Homo-oligomer: A and B are copies of this chain.
Amino acid sequence: MRRSSEETKSEILARARERFAADGYERATIRAVAADAGIDPALVMRYFGSKERLFAAACAFDLQLPDVRAVPRDGVGAALARHFLERWEADETLTILLRTGVTNPAAAERMREVYASQLMPAAAAVAGDTAQAQVRVRAGLAATQVLGMALCRYVLKFPPISAMSRDEAIRWIAPTLQRYLAGAA
Contacts and interface: CB of A to CB of B under 8 A. Distances in A.
B26 A27 contact: yes
Contact of A143 (B115, B152, B179): B152
A144 B160 contact: no
A55 interface: no
Q: What is the interface of chain A mostly: helix, strand, loop, or mixed?
A: helix
Given A23-B103, A144-B173, 18 more contacts: A26-B26, A26-B103, A99-B102, A99-B103, A101-B156, A102-B103, A102-B151, A111-B156, A140-B161, A141-B173, A143-B152, A143-B158, A144-B145, A144-B149, A144-B152, A144-B153, A146-B148, A147-B151
Interface residues of A, number: 43
A72 interface: no
Nearest to A164: B137
A96 to B, nearest CB: 11
20 contacts: A23-B103, A26-B103, A27-B103, A99-B102, A102-B156, A112-B157, A112-B159, A115-B158, A137-B160, A137-B161, A137-B164, A139-B160, A140-B161, A143-B148, A143-B158, A144-B148, A144-B153, A144-B161, A147-B148, A176-B176
Nearest to A107: B156
A113 to B, nearest CB: 11
Given A143-B161, A148-B147, A156-B112, A102 B176 contact: no
A66 to B, nearest CB: 22
